[in-house]
């Protein structure tokens, strides 16, 4: 009897040992291949077939949604038709998974040659790590230094070299209800004084001048971005985002002085912290609030009947001597620094940035082009106005939480909320932010 139990026990132990043994190698492979493998659709047989005859270019993209996915695949097909000597091995990974996987891609010994990514700090991080290739020669040979608006050029450039190809984007602006402005005889303000006057008139007439919902904090970050760029210029703003300027700089304090005027005068929607951005849209749609600083995606949420009653204007200029920066979150492409097939990769990138592909994306997906060579007559009047807005910008910022590191963005947005609640606390808040900046960027 005892012998029997003993054997069973040993038997169970063995099973466990085998189970554990079977587990171990698997965990190792997971590390190597990244957990998103299942999503990857690599046409393996094809790859083997052509390895001998063709150049293989590996392209990983994050266009996981059905329509962008179809367009992405079609573009790869068109490229291969135009370049029969290159075989593009294309993998599409869902957006969120791609964000997780990109670090593993870039640290692999043979990274994918071409990848999709976000412009701004999220690309800058990899550029500073030496993981993204300098593609100044592609910019030069394709003439993008002329055909791309200067804001996008500056966005792709680090220390005079281009590393990124921006392709699709949307703009931010102050949206307003045309009917309210007409009723009160208001014009879209261009300067800060005009802006304050418009706010005052709206308030006197019983309207909420500025809709905003700060439940998720980021809407307030837009105000910081714009005020900082208008007061201190985009260069200071970006350096602050990169941790190269300090938050206890008097220039940053000045941003909050301007901001405070709007808060103290009660121009913002009451109880803003109770609403998300789309909830704060309700008073704007109902015609109770007149203006809303928001990204162009706002128009997707407007009912058809008021869409014609909504227009937008550039965030007012505060210091005319400063270059103009605009928030326009941009996606695009880059080549990995140790890409295997550099020549084919550059050819593909040149194709992606071409008028042909950008026109295709505009037609299929309604994407706004970065290449000025694209015929603008196919876009709506609003879209053309948005493009003109960016044409006039000297620098294109990506938005607070994309321009700085995630940790810093978190600290910053918490401080914006605390400031909103208690504007008197700004000195303490900025001192804390400066401590956080030192810790995050300088490791102190």
Partner 1 sequence: MASIRRNIVPYLFLIIPVLIYLVWVIGPMFYTFYLSLTNWDGLTTPSFIGFRNYERLFRDKVFFISLVNNLKWLISFITIPVVLGLGLAMALNKAIPGEKIFKMNFYMPMVLAMVVSGIIWGWMYHPKGGLINTALVASGLVEKGPGWLSDRDIVLWSIIIVAIWRQVGYVMVLYLAGLKSINPQLLEAATVDGANSWQSFWRILLPLLTPVTIIVLVISVIDSLRAFDLSTITRWATELLLL
Looking at the Cβ atoms of 241 and 417, the one nearer to partner 1 is: 417
Looking at the Cβ atoms of 45 and 264, the one nearer to partner 1 is: 264
Q: Is 37 in the site for partner 1 (CB under 8 A)?
A: no
Q: Could you tell me whether strands 330-335 and 310-313 are parallel, antiparallel, or unpaired per DSSP bridges? A: unpaired
Q: Is 439 in the site for partner 1 (CB under 8 A)?
A: yes
The span from the CA of 44 to the CA of 162, in Å, is: 33
CB of 293 to partner 1, least distance (A): 19
Q: Which residues pair with 359 in a beta bridge?
A: none
CB neighbour list of residue 417: distance below 8 Å, 6 or more residues apart: 214, 217, 220, 273
CA neighbor of 166 nearest in space, from 394, 396, 332, 371: 332
Please choose, out of 83-91, 241-249, 266-274, 330-338, the segment that lies near partner 1 by the rule CB under 8 A: 266-274
**Positive/negative CA dihedral, 271, 275, 276, 277:** negative
CB of 235 to partner 1, least distance (A): 29
The span from the CA of 413 to the CA of 417, in Å, is: 6
Looking at the Cβ atoms of 85 and 96, the one nearer to partner 1 is: 96
Please choose, out of 10-18, 49-57, 252-260, 390-398, the segment that lies near partner 1 by the rule CB under 8 A: 10-18
Q: Is 9 in the site for partner 1 (CB under 8 A)?
A: yes
Of 140, 257, 271, 375, the one binding partner 1 by CB under 8 A: 271
Looking at the Cβ atoms of 151 and 412, the one nearer to partner 1 is: 412
Decide: residue 240, CB within 10 A, 0-12 exposed, 13-18 middle, 19+ buried.
buried
The span from the CA of 291 to the CA of 304, in Å, is: 18
Q: Could you tell me whether strands 161-162 and 165-169 are parallel, antiparallel, or unpaired per DSSP bridges? A: unpaired
Question: Angle of helix 66-82 relative to helix 342-352, nearest 10 degrees?
Answer: 120
Please choose, out of 219-227, 242-250, 272-280, 333-341, the segment that lies near partner 1 by the rule CB under 8 A: 272-280
Of 110, 141, 276, 380, the one binding partner 1 by CB under 8 A: 276
The span from the CA of 440 to the CA of 444, in Å, is: 8
Tell me the per-residue interface mask from 385 to 414 with partner 1, x by CB under 8 A, - otherwise: -----------------------------x
**Positive/negative CA dihedral, 25, 26, 27, 29:** positive
Place of tokens 């014609």: 308
Q: Is 14 in the site for partner 1 (CB under 8 A)?
A: no
Contacts with partner 1: how many residues (CB under 8 A)?
A: 27
DSSP 248-311: TSHHHHHHHHHHHHHHHTT-BPTTGGG--TTTTHHHHHTTSEEEEEEEGGGGGGS-HHHHTTEE
The span from the CA of 95 to the CA of 116, in Å, is: 10
Looking at the Cβ atoms of 219 and 358, the one nearer to partner 1 is: 219
CB of 410 to partner 1, least distance (A): 9
The span from the CA of 135 to the CA of 137, in Å, is: 5
Looking at the Cβ atoms of 33 and 354, the one nearer to partner 1 is: 33
| Neighbour count for residue 115 (Cβ, 10 Å) | 26
The span from the CA of 141 to the CA of 278, in Å, is: 44
Q: Is 272 in the site for partner 1 (CB under 8 A)?
A: yes
Q: Is 278 in the site for partner 1 (CB under 8 A)?
A: yes
Tell me the per-residue interface mask from 179 to 218 with partner 1, x by CB under 8 A, - otherwise: ------------------------------------x---
Site residues for partner 1, 214-253, by CB under 8 A, read 215
Looking at the Cβ atoms of 112 and 151, the one nearer to partner 1 is: 112
Tell me the per-residue interface mask from 83 to 112 with partner 1, x by CB under 8 A, - otherwise: --------------------xx--x-----
Q: Is 2 in the site for partner 1 (CB under 8 A)?
A: yes
Looking at the Cβ atoms of 295 and 369, the one nearer to partner 1 is: 295
- Cite the DSSP H helix spans in 34-114: 44-51, 66-82, 95-107
CB of 121 to partner 1, least distance (A): 16
Looking at the Cβ atoms of 89 and 102, the one nearer to partner 1 is: 102
CB of 281 to partner 1, least distance (A): 9
- Contacts with partner 1 by CB under 8 A lie at 2, 5-6, 9-10, 12-13, 16, 20, 103-104, 107, 215, 270-276, 278-279, 414, 421, 432, 435, 439
């Amino acid at each position: 009897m005892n012998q029997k139990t003993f054997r069973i026990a040993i038997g169970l132990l063995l099973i466990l040992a085998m189970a554990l043994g079977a587990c171990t190698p698997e965990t190792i492979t997971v590390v190597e291949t990244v957990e998103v493998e299942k999503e990857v659709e690599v046409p393996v047989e094809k790859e083997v077939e052509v390895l001998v005859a063709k150049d293989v270019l590996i392209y990983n993209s994050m266009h996981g949604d059905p329509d962008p996915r179809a367009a992405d695949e079609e573009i790869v097909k068109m490229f291969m038709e135009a370049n029969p000597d290159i075989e593009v091995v294309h993998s599409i990974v869902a957006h969120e998974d791609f964000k997780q996987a990109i670090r593993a891609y870039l640290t692999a010994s043979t990274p994918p040659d071409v990848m999709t990514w976000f412009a701004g700090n999220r690309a800058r991080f990899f550029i500073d790590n030496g993981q993204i290739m300098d593609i100044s020669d592609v910019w030069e040979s394709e003439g993008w230094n002329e055909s791309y608006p200067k804001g996008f050029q500056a966005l792709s450039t680090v220390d005079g070299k281009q590393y990124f190809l921006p392709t699709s984007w949307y703009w931010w602006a102050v949206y307003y209800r045309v009917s309210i402005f007409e009723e009160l005889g208001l014009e879209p303000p261009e300067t800060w004084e005009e802006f304050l006057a418009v706010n005052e008139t709206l308030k006197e007439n019983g309207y909420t001048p500025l809709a905003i919902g700060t439940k998720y904090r980021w809407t307030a970050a837009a105000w910081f971005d714009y005020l900082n760029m208008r007061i201190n210029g985009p260069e200071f703003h970006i350096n602050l985002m990169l941790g190269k300027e300090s938050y206890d700089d008097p220039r940053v304090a000045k941003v909050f002085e301007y901001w405070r005027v709007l808060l103290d005068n009660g121009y913002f929607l009451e109880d803003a912290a109770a609403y998300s951005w789309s909830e704060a849209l309700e008073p704007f749609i109902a015609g109770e609030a007149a203006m809303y600083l928001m990204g162009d995606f706002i128009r997707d949420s407007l009912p058809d009947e008021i869409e014609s009653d909504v227009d937008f204007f550039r965030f007012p200029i505060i210091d005319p001597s400063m270059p103009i920066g605009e928030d326009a979150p941009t996606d695009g492409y880059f080549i990995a620094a140790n890409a295997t097939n550099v020549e084919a990769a550059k050819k593909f990138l040149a194709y992606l940035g071409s008028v042909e592909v950008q026109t295709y994306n505009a037609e299929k997906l309604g994407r706004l082009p970065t290449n000025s060579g694209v015929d603008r007559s196919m876009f709506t009047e609003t879209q053309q106005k948005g493009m003109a807005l960016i044409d006039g910008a000297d620098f294109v910022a990506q938005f607070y939480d994309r321009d700085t590191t995630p940790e810093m963005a978190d600290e910053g947005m918490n401080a914006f909320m605390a400031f909103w609640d208690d504007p008197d606390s700004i000195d303490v808040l900025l001192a804390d932010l400066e401590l956080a900046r030192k810790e995050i960027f300088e490791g102190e």
